[in-house]
Chain A
Amino acid sequence: MMHDQLLRQSAQLLETSGVGIPIEGRSILNRTGLLHFCTLTTSIIFLTLSLAMSASAQGSFSTGDSELEKWIVEPKLRFDEWLDDQRPSLEIAFDLSMRIVEKSGGSGTGHVNWVGIDLIDRLHWDGFPIATILVQAYAVEVRDLPATPIIFDDSRDWQLQWRFVYLDFDRWSHKGISWKVGHFQVPFGLEWTSDTTGTLRQYTNAKNLGVKADWGMSAHGTVDGLDYEVSVTRGSGNEYRDVSDNHVFAMRIGASPGHNLSYGVSYFDAQLTGQDAPVGMSTFPKPDRVRYGVDARWNFPSFQLLGECSRGTNDDLDVWSALLEANIHSPDERNLAYLQTVGSATKGVSDWDERVQAHLGVKRLIGPSLSLEAQWTHDLELPGNALLGDTGVLQIRYRF
C-alpha cells in the first residue's frame, strides 16, 4: 500500500517537472542524472564483484599461502613468534594502502597512499594490568586529489598522521570505568560504534563536527548494559595545538552495538582551532560548534539499517546533519555492501545551504591481510550553484 503510494508520488513528481523532481523550485534529480546513477551503480558493483571473485577464485591467495605472500610475510611471521616469546601482550602490524580517486568533470585521477604501523600492548604493574597502549602512526601521501585536505601543503605532499595514539587505563573496566589519554576518536554518533579507520565507509563526524580524532582525555565504560564515553580534548585534530581557548567536550551514551537494536544519544560542544578544515572543505569559517545527536542501528538477517541525525549551531548559525544507511553483509562480516545518503545544511542569510550526497560502496576482506573497497559518491545537492558530480574511489589495503 505504502509502496504504491510512493510510486504514485514519484510518478507525479516526474510528470510535474517534466525533467526531474522539483524541490523548492529546483530540479535536483533529472532523468539523465538518475540513469547515470543506475548505470554507475551497476558498473561499480560489477567491477568490484569481478575483482573480488577473481581474487577469491585463487584459493591460495584467499588463504594467504601464495608464494608471493609467503615471501612478503614470512619474515614478519618469524618476527611475531619472536615477539611473542619476548612480550606476549605486544602486537605490531604494518598497514599499506593505495586509494585511487576519480571525480567527474575532468579533474584527473588522484591518489592517497599510506604506510603505517599499528601497535598495541598491555602495561602491567606488580602483576596486574593497568593500561593498554595503542599507537597508530601513518605516513600519508596525496597526489592530485580533487580536494586536497588542508593539512597538506601542496596537491602533491605527504604528512605524518596520527590516527589513534593513546593510553587507556582500563584496570577497572570490569567496574565500569576506564580512563583514556592521548589521540582518540571523539565520542559522537554512529562513528563511535564502527571501525572506520582507513576505510572508505565513513560517517558524519569529520565534516559535521570538524574533528574526528583529537588529543585529550576521556572516561568510558559500560554500566548496566549502556556504553558511555565522556571526553575533553584540545580541538586541534591531528596535531596538538593550543591556539586560544580551543577545546572539545563530547559525550555519547548508548546501548551496546552488539545487540539487535542499538541506539545512542550524543552531545558535542567545541571551539575548534579553525585551522584544519574537514576533508572536502577548503576553509573552516565556523569553529564554534554545538551538536545534539541521536543514532540507531537496527539489524535484520544479513541486513542492517543505520540512521543518525544531529542539529545545533556553527557560531550563531543553525545547522543540521543526517545520515541513513542500508547495508548487507555476509555472516562473517567480511563482505559488505552499503548505500548511504548523507545530508547537511547551514542556515544562510535567506535560505539553507544544503549538501546531500549518496554513497554506494562495497568492501571485501580477502584472506588474512587483504581488503578491497570501492565507493561511488553522487552529489544530489550542493550549496550555492556548485556543479553536481560523481566521485569514484577504489582502495586496496594490505595489513600484515
Chain B
Amino acid sequence: MHRYSMHRYLRICTAMITVVLGTPLRIAVFLGAVFLGAVFLVPVSLVHGQVAAEEPSGRLVRPDRTAPFCSSPNYAAQASQLFSELEFDDVVEVNFLINDQLRKRIQADLGADYLPYGLLGKHVMYFPVTKTKMPIGMMHFRKMAGSKFGLVTVGWRLDLQFNLVDFMVEGRDPATIEIMNIRNELNEKFRGAGSEQLKSWLEDGTAQLSSLGKRDLEVEHLNDGVHDVLGIVVYLARLTRTSAKLRFSEQKVTVSGNEIHEPSMADHILHFVSIPEALIEQVVDLQKVASSELKAACATVKSQKDEVLSEIHCESISASRLIMSGSSEPYYSVDSRMQLVGTLSIRWIVNPQLELIGVHVLGSSADMSEEVKAMERSSLERHIGARLIPEAECASGTRILVNRVLTLCQIFKKADH
C-alpha cells in the first residue's frame, strides 16, 4: 500500500475513534450504546450454551438451520491428531440424526433434566479405518458456547466399546491451549471414569466443573477460564459417549420386523460392539456369508428330523465370518429375529469350537418396551458358553434358538473345511 495513502487511511480511522470518543457527551452516548448492547443484546444469549442446558429440552424440537451448509466443518483431518499412534488408511464418516426420540433416550440415559440446544439434527461420527475397512475407533466433535471467547470445539475419541480414549479442545479461548498442554494427565483420569463419576465432576445439570471435579482432575490450581472450558469437555464426554452408544450399538428395526438398511460402516461397528472386547483387536476382516450359501445351510437345517430345529425362519437370518489374526479358522456372527411383543433383532457370536461366546441385542421394534428388551437380553446372555446339544427336545425357547444358530455355524464350518 502506498505509504502516504495508507497514512491517510489510518488518520481517518484514528479521527473517527477520537471524535466519537472525544467529548464527554459522545463518550456518554458511546458508553450508553455499549451498555445497552451489554444489557440487552449480548446477555439475552450470554453463555447461551451453558444456560440453554438449563432450558427444558422438550421445547426445542428442531435442529439449528441458521448457518449455510458451506460453513459446516469437516473434522476428518483431526484423525491424525487423535489417532496419532495408530495406523489407518482412511476416515469414514457416518451421519446420524439425533431426532426428538433419540434425544429423549439420551436424556433418560444421562439422567439429565436438560440437554444443550444444539443436540438435535445431523451429526457425524468419524471412523478411521484400515485398508480392509476395519475401524480402529471413532471420534465425534461438538461445539458449545464457552464463557467469554465464543464457541469451544471439543472432539472425543472413543474405542469400539465406547470408552473414552483421548480428546482435543480448540477455540479462541487461551484456556484451550492450557488444557491441551495437560491432556495426557487428564486422559488418565478420563479413561477410568464411569458415567456417574463424570456426572459428579459437574454441577447439577450444567457444564460447570464441580469442586469434586476440580479435585479429581487435579486442576484446582488453574484459573477459572480453564475450569470453564474443562467443564465443557467433561459435559461433552458424557453426551458423546451416550449418544454414540445409543446410536451405534443398535440397529433400527421397524414394527414389521425389518432392519432398516444401515451404512456399511455402521454395520461394521455393530459387529465390533457384539464381539467380546478381548477379541476386537484380532479381527482383520468381516466376510458376509453369501446368500446362496446361507440358503443352502438353512435348507439343511430345515430338512433335519428334529422338528424344533427345522422350524427355523431362514428369511430373517444373515451371517458373517470374522477373520481373526490369531486363528486360522473364522469365528461366526449370525443375526436372527425373535418375535415377542414386538420384534427383537439379535446377533450371536460363535467361535470355531462352536461355542456361543456372545449375544447382542441389535435392536427392537418401537412396540417393544425397554423393560421387555432388557429382560430378554438378560435371558439370552445366560446362554453364553453354550455348545450344541443334539436333539434338545426339552430345551427352553431361547435354548432352541441357540441350537439353531450353532447348527447353522456347524454347517458353515464344514463348508470351510
Contacts and interface: CB of A to CB of B under 8 A. Distances in A.
B162 interface: no
B69 A120 contact: yes
Contacts of B369: none
Nearest to A48: B41
B215 interface: no
A19 interface: no
A169 interface: no
Contacts of B19: 10, 14, 21, 29, 34
A45 B33 contact: yes
A32 interface: no
30 contacts: A6-B22, A21-B15, A28-B12, A29-B19, A42-B33, A49-B37, A60-B59, A64-B62, A65-B59, A65-B61, A73-B62, A84-B97, A120-B72, A128-B92, A164-B70, A174-B91, A195-B68, A195-B70, A197-B68, A198-B68, A222-B77, A258-B153, A299-B172, A302-B42, A330-B43, A330-B48, A331-B46, A333-B145, A354-B8, A399-B66
Interface in A23-64: 23-24, 28-29, 34, 37-38, 41-42, 45-46, 49, 52-53, 56, 59-60, 63-64
A132 B174 CA distance: 32
Interface string A327-367: 01111111101000101010100001010101000101100
Contact of B68 (A28, A95, A256, A310): A95
Contacts of B15: 10, 13, 21, 23, 29
B252 to A, nearest CB: 8
9 closest Cβ contacts across the A-B interface? A332-B48, A320-B1, A10-B18, A332-B145, A301-B148, A299-B172, A120-B69, A195-B71, A311-B1
Given A260-B172, A331-B146, A332-B151, A322 B1 contact: yes
B33 A41 contact: yes
Given A6-B18, A88-B97, A38 B47 contact: no
B257 interface: no
B105 interface: no
Contacts of A191: none
Nearest to A345: B5
Contact of A23 (B11, B59, B61, B94): B11
Contacts of B9: 320, 322, 343, 345, 354, 356
A93 B65 contact: yes
A91 interface: yes
B76 interface: yes
Nearest to B79: A174
Nearest to A119: B69
A42 B32 contact: yes
Interface string B4-27: 111011011111111111100010
B77 A331 contact: no
Given A301-B148, A331-B46, 13 more contacts: A6-B17, A7-B21, A10-B19, A21-B19, A64-B60, A120-B72, A170-B74, A176-B77, A334-B48, A337-B37, A343-B9, A354-B9, A370-B66
A173 interface: yes
Interface in B139-174: 145-151, 153, 170-174
Contacts of A88: 94-97, 122, 263
B321 to A, nearest CB: 18
Nearest to B30: A38
Nearest to A366: B66
A369 interface: yes
B336 to A, nearest CB: 23
A399 B65 contact: yes
B33 A331 contact: no
B293 to A, nearest CB: 22
B367 interface: no
B415 interface: no
Interface of B: 1-2, 4-6, 8-9, 11-22, 26, 29, 32-33, 36-37, 40-50, 52, 55, 59-72, 74, 76-80, 90-97, 99, 122, 128, 133, 145-151, 153, 170-174, 177, 260, 263-265
A258 B171 contact: yes
A53 B40 contact: yes
A91 B92 contact: no
Interface string A86-106: 001101010100000000000
A331 B16 contact: no
A330 B45 contact: yes
Given A127-B265, A320-B1, A85 B260 contact: yes
Given A88-B97, A222-B77, A260-B173, A333 B151 contact: yes
Contacts of B17: 6
Contacts of A170: 74, 76
Contact of A93 (B26, B42, B52, B69): B69
A324 B55 CA distance: 38
A81 interface: yes
B244 to A, nearest CB: 15
A331 B51 CA distance: 11
A13 B4 CA distance: 19
Interface residues of A, number: 107
A16 interface: no
A311 B5 CA distance: 11
Given A53-B40, A371-B66, A301 B149 contact: yes
Nearest to B22: A10
A189 B301 CA distance: 69
Contact of A328 (B32, B37, B52, B174): B37
A11 interface: yes
A127 B68 contact: no
A111 to B, nearest CB: 21
B353 to A, nearest CB: 31
Contacts of B76: 170, 173-174
Given A53-B40, A331-B149, A331-B150, A42 B29 contact: yes
A372 B307 CA distance: 71
A352 B5 contact: yes
A18 interface: no
A280 interface: no
A171 interface: yes
Contacts of A175: 80
A46 B72 CA distance: 32
Contacts of B61: 63-65, 77
A205 interface: no
A136 interface: yes
A258 B260 CA distance: 38
B44 A335 contact: yes
Contacts of A42: 29, 32-33
B12 A343 contact: yes
A132 B297 CA distance: 42
A35 B401 CA distance: 85
B411 to A, nearest CB: 28
A196 to B, nearest CB: 10
Interface string A295-327: 000010110100001110000001011101000
Interface in A106-139: 118-120, 122, 127-129, 132, 134, 136
A356 B1 contact: no
